[in-house]
Amino acid sequence: MSSSTVASASGQVADPLAAYAGRQVWLDGRLVPAERATVSVFDHGVLYGDGVFEGIRFYAGRVLKLRTHLERLFASARAIRMELPYTLDELSDATKKTVEANGLNDGYIRLVATRGAGTMGLNPFQCPQPCVYIIAATIQLYPQEFYDHGLKVVCSSFLRNHPQALSPRIKSLNYLNNILAKIEAIDNGVLEAVMFNHLGNVSECTGDNVFLVRPRDGRPTLFTPPLSAGVLEGVTMNLVIELAQRAGIPVVREDQTRHDLYTADEIFLTGTAAEVIPVTDVDGRPIGPPTHSGEPGPITRQLIKSFRDMIATGVPED
């Protein structure tokens, strides 16, 4: 990994909003210029991180697993007792309208539902109506070099939120837990960190799900932590599990430890923005057997290709 890549991740952008000039944002039922798309300073999403969101990809103008993402958004909203002012179909239409209005072919959508403006107290029921907005933009989370040669990661000292404190299955606006681990990663010269739960088992990375490859019963097998480990049920994660199963690769959901990371034959991450990306070094330890130590392994490469082939042949929208 080049030092300039990490430096750019930790440095400041001269004008971070320049990339959104001329864009349209769907805000509470209408498209508005990005520079006029504003949220109240009294919004509880700003004051307390009270809200939920989805990150969604689109390719060739088609939105990947849109209905699945929206179902997860509504589930997150129900979990925090937020009643969204739109139906799932209305938000589906609004999302497609936003992509079309911005004239983008491939990109990323951020759909956000905040609690809305209210009193300065914590009481969410003092907020008359949620604020909902949709952003469509371009994105490149990682340079191509990392897909070719793999990411270096570290194990974070910050534990993933305890499920009884804040369920990681709620995709909430409060990402401070993840951000602290992300800062720790950048301070260590890498771009991602593996987070553990209160039992010491692997949970997920700061923004991605984790997969390990190692043999079981003489066959290469995919292992990924169960949802009970404090894992967000990733849409891309489930897509990759489906692709692996179609290819005859066994998938096992069970607890993984730091030792399992260090001794895995392969590791890769999945996420909406990252897609499928190899990990080739954990805490300075090259991953894999001598045949591909420190390089992406064959199962990882196969699943990267399968994912990209799926996108090229027809983006599943449901």
Q: Which residues of the chain does CATH 3.30.470.10 include? A: 12-137
d(CA 160, CA 181) in angstroms, rounded, equals: 9
pLDDT, position 16: 74
Angle between helix 235-246 and 298-313 (nearest 10): 100
Spatial distance between the Cα atoms of 61 and 293, rounded to a whole number of angstroms = 38
Residue 90 pLDDT > 70 = yes
State residue 223's pLDDT score.
Answer: 98
pLDDT category of residue 10 using cuts at 50, 70 and 90: low
Mean pLDDT, rounded, for 139-150: 91
Residue 37 has pLDDT above 80, yes or no: yes
Q: Which residues, in sequence order, are CB contacts of 58 under 8 Å at separation 6+? A: 64, 99, 104, 106, 107, 108, 109, 136, 315
Tell me, yes or no, if 97 is annotated catalytic.
no
Q: What is the rounded average pLDDT of the residues 180-197?
A: 98
Chain centroid, CA 269 distance in Å: 10
pLDDT at position 19 is 78
In the predicted model, is pLDDT for residue 288 greater than 90? yes
pLDDT of residue 264: 97
For residue 173, CA distances in Å to 21, 129, 226, 308 come to 24, 17, 23, 29
Q: Does the CA dihedral 70-71-72-74 come out positive or negative?
A: positive
Distance CA 247, CA 222 (A): 12
Model confidence at 160, pLDDT cuts 50, 70, 90, reads: very high
Average predicted confidence (pLDDT) for the chain: 94
Domain 144-313: homologous superfamily in CATH: D-amino Acid Aminotransferase, subunit A, domain 2 (3.20.10.10)
Q: Which of 65, 171, 182, 305 is catalytic?
A: 171
Q: What percent of the chain has pLDDT over 90?
A: 89
Report the percent of the chain where pLDDT is more than 70: 96
Neighbours of 291 (CB within 10 A): 9
207 CB-side CA count, 13 A: 21
Query: In this structure, what are the phi and psi dihedrals at residue 224, rounded to the nearest 5 degrees?
Result: -145, 145
Are 307 and 234 in contact by the 8 Å Cβ rule? The answer is no
Helix, strand or coil, per DSSP, at residue 215: strand
More confident residue, 18 or 252: 252
Contact 288, 294 (CB under 8 A): yes
Please determine, for residue 312, whether its predicted confidence score (pLDDT) is greater than 60: yes
Tell me which CATH code domain 12-137 carries. Answer: 3.30.470.10
Q: How many angstroms separate the CA atoms of 155 and 304, rounded?
A: 24
CATH 3.20.10.10 residue spans of the chain: 144-313
What's the per-residue H, E or C state across 233-268? CCHHHHHHHHHHHHCCCCEEECCCCHHHHHHCCEEE
pTM for the structure as a whole? 0.93
